[in-house]
Chain A
Amino acid sequence: MGFAGYRRADGRVGVRNHVVVLSSVSCANGVVDAIGRAVPDVVTITHTEGCGRGPDDVTTAIRTLVGTASHPNVAGALVVGLGCEVIGAAMVAERARAGGRRVEFLGIQDTGGTPRTVEAGVRIVRDLLDEAAAVEREEVGFQHLTMAVECGGSDAMSGLTANPTLGLVADWLVGQGGTVIMSEVTEFIGAEDAAGQRCTTDEVRERLLGLLAGQRQRVKDSLGPFAHLVIAPGNAEGGLSSIEEKSLGSFAKGGHTPIRQVVDYAEAPVEHGLVVMDTPGSDVFSMTGKFAGGAQLLVFTTGRGSPAGSPLGPVVKVSTTTDLFERMPDDIDFDAGPVLAGRPMAEVADDLRELVIEVAEGRTTCAERNRTDLFAIHSAGPPF
């Protein structure tokens, strides 16, 4: 039992076959956008990173960009840089080529400025698109699938319907030898005991609890005497009584299997099974990190209604209530609301699993059709 995906030279499997144009630094964004306007079939990825960052943030940015350009959903990529920057396009392209895909680069200064770089880029991507068209899907096992899980715009029902239902799908995928990446570690505050108990080794546990202790301190430092507001008035009105309850409701989306590894932002896991990535709770940064770490698709639960998608892969949007599903029908792919009407959660999870497999095999999601692509690279410090 498996799914039909694009097998790449490095053995990884994509659920999409994108040609990506990516800026190595923000100065190249204009050229990247222009190439995208000229050739609408490519996926353009721009961001605000570049010079003026501390060394740790530069490392994170490089890792994220290389993970993006070498992603299994990418058939071929063009990296555009300026020429004088630290995060050079040539360097990113060379590292990304280790993934076995064709990754070209262009420097705006060397090529002679914007219009000439756009023209050269258009020629390159048309060639990449022709090559991509020749690639076909083949049947592979689910051990090749990495599903990222996310929650955003949560409401009181997130922890009752959508998140535990997604957790059952996560359990299924892990049982098939696949991988699930959860992140948003700010939302583990209160769930430390539950999370710590699930770690497979002392090393994993220490790393995770260390991360969470840091998060807890940051909340205390920034909120001070108002730290209890991490559980907001709206949460209490909706029935949430403690930070533990709120976090466990979020944590439920990862399912019940052991936590096998803790990885840095945009770091690719080496373990299969459930993995925790260090990302903030903010959706745009969190999704970017998980995709760059190799997740081919992402399932996103929402109570209030988030339209967020990613340029790198499909985002499956799951509503916590039928009311939301009916209110935003062109942004939500799946309704977990029937759990509130008493439908057994295992049945709802079976339906969600079927949809995830269909999406892996090519069925488009609302966010893909709407092109609501978000991409932002996490940084720990302010720019210089």
Chain B
Amino acid sequence: MGKMRLHDAGTNVVVIDPADNVATALVDLAAGTPLRWADGEGVTTVEPIPSGHKVALRDISAGDPVRKYGQVIGVASARVGLGSLVHTHNLTGQEV
């Protein structure tokens, strides 16, 4: 995808809607990286998050909805801790 230069403010994730409980990484993030987005900060990754993938902004219990775009994109299939990767291993979407 080419080199991306981060804005001076160090934004490294995007949170699309205030109701979202996940952010999406703008670049590859190593474990232990503090997240910064346009409206906030205060979460640190607990594992690597590849570019374009989601990271939990709060603890999500198994069976609870995962929200992005202000909408439910699936439910957590296991407990997801703050700062963890959220993807097909712990998120179940609907069947077609």
Contacts and interface: CB of A to CB of B under 8 A. Distances in A.
Nearest to A321: B1
B24 to A, nearest CB: 6
Label chain A's interface by main secondary structure: helix
B43 interface: no
Contacts of B74: 241-242, 244-245
B74 to A, nearest CB: 4
Interface string B5-39: 11101111010100000001111000000000010
Interface string B68-96: 11011110000000000011100111111
Contacts of A326: 2
A239 B50 contact: yes
A135 interface: no
Contact of B88 (A189, A219, A236, A322): A236
B71 A220 contact: no
A242 B92 CA distance: 7
Nearest to A230: B96
A252 interface: yes
Interface in A325-341: 326, 337, 339-341
A249 interface: yes
A55 interface: no
Interface in A141-177: 156-157, 159-160, 164
Contacts of B16: 160, 164, 252
A323 B52 CA distance: 15
A212 to B, nearest CB: 12
A344 B52 contact: no
B14 A248 contact: no
A160 B14 contact: yes
A194 interface: yes
Given A239-B51, A322-B2, A323-B1, A248 B26 contact: no
A258 to B, nearest CB: 15
Q: Which of B9, B14, B52 has the most CB of A within 10 A?
A: B52
B69 A239 contact: no
A341 B94 contact: no
B92 to A, nearest CB: 8
A230 to B, nearest CB: 6
A339 B94 contact: no
Contact of A241 (B10, B11, B93): B93
A341 B72 contact: no
Interface of B: 1-2, 4-7, 9-12, 14, 16, 24-27, 38, 50-54, 68-69, 71-74, 86-88, 91-96
Interface of A: 156-157, 159-160, 164, 189-191, 193-194, 216, 219-220, 223, 227-228, 230-231, 236, 238-239, 241-245, 248-249, 251-252, 321-323, 326, 337, 339-345
